Amino acid sequence: MCGIVGLFLKDKALEPQLGAMLTDMLITMTDRGPDSAGIAIYGEGTPGVSKVTVQSENPDQDFVDLADKVKALVGGPVSLTRRDTHAVLGVPAGKAEELRKQLKEVAPTVRVMSFGDTLEIYKEVGLPKDVAARFDIASMAGTHGIGHTRMATESAVTTMGAHPFNTGSDQCLVHNGSLSNHNSLRRKLNREGIHIETMNDSEVAAAYLTWKMQNGATLGEALENSLDDLDGFFNFVVGTKDGFGVVRDPIACKPAVMAETDQYVAFGSEYRALVNLPGIDGARVWEPEPATVYFWRHGETTTPNKKAA
């Protein structure tokens, strides 16, 4: 079991409240996943700056001179904003992916949570309410975000095993379910040069989508392909810099509810996650269909795309 929440805002007036709304939704899903929790939030970007969110078990020690070390590595101005065990490094645009690969050389105990222009990922072991409070998720603003509460089945209960997973710039994925062909797919993706950090099945799904998109697929197309290539149970909720997608496997045994109003699109593993959203009583509420890709992008109206059997 796991819990998923997601919120894609259409109304800019809600953006300052994104973190608070997501935190509230996340906490309602505590009994679906009390071992770890994480949030991916798409906040404000700064032109010319990319973000790398990092984590350390010893932040007091590791973060002291991290900005200087990173500056020596990538050149140009580097900023560091710490939040508990995590820190967001601001690096010159285009340097984020390079830093992700090279960070281990200068800071072997610092792990990369995410990289991109607007995406930040915060995740830790612990109850969702405690994890959200550590990072003060409630104070964060943004355009869209995804949260996950984990009850582990396929890999260890660690920070790195928590969701969301980020495998490409500004991409993230959360998963409820379990994949059965992740080992063979991980080997295949490794051969294709895709970086996969953990032995977690869900990270392989994230990496699969990244690989598809690197080869020219849109997120919607990549999600459709996942229905052919991934074996197992899954509800995926994914984010890109300006998009938000949902897909369920054809068996669809993992629960999912969605709600849409003029102000937002929301996803919850259960309706309980959605009850405090503004205007929920008047929202269109539905259960996403099996084997059907749902995808929204800022500035576009999108209809679901049913995968042919």
Partner 1 sequence: MQTYDLEADGLRGLNAALHAQTSETNQTQWEIVNPRGSHAIAVGLDAPIEVNVKGSTGYYCGGMNKQATVHVHGSAGPGVAENMMSGTVVIDGDASQYAGATGNGGTLVIKGNASSRCGISMKGIDIVVHGNVGHMSAFMGQSGNMVVCGDAGEALGDSIYEARLFVRGSVKSLGADCVEKEMRPEHIELLRDLLDRGGCDAKPEEFKRYGSARQLYNFKVDNAY
Question: Which positions lie near partner 1, rule CB under 8 A?
Answer: 250-253, 255, 257, 270-275, 285-287, 290, 309
Phi-psi region of 126 (alpha: psi -120 to 50; beta: other; left: phi over 0): left
CB of 270 to partner 1, least distance (A): 6
Q: Which is nearer to partner 1, 127 or 252 (CB)?
A: 252
Tell me whether residue 45 or residue 290 sits nearer to partner 1 (CB atom): 290
Report, in Å, the least distance between residue 235 CB and partner 1: 12
Would you list the DSSP string of 106-158?
H-TTEEEEEEESSEEEEEEES-HHHHHHHHTGGG---SEEEEEEE--SSS-SS
CA-based nearest residue to 245, from 300, 296, 208, 174: 296
- Which CB atom, from 265 or from 283, has the smaller least distance to partner 1? 283
Query: What number of helices (H) and strands (E) belong to the chain?
Result: 8, 16
d(CA 271, CA 165): 24
Smaller CB separation from partner 1, 97 or 270? 270
Shortest distance in whole angstroms from residue 275 CB to partner 1: 4
State the DSSP H helix or E strand holding residue 67, giving kind and residue range, or none if neither: helix 66-74
253 part of the active site: no
Count the Cβ atoms, other than its own, within 10 Å of residue 64: 11
Minimum distance, C-beta of residue 287 to partner 1, in the bound complex (Å): 5
Catalytic residue among 1, 2, 281, 307: 2
- Residues annotated as catalytic are 2
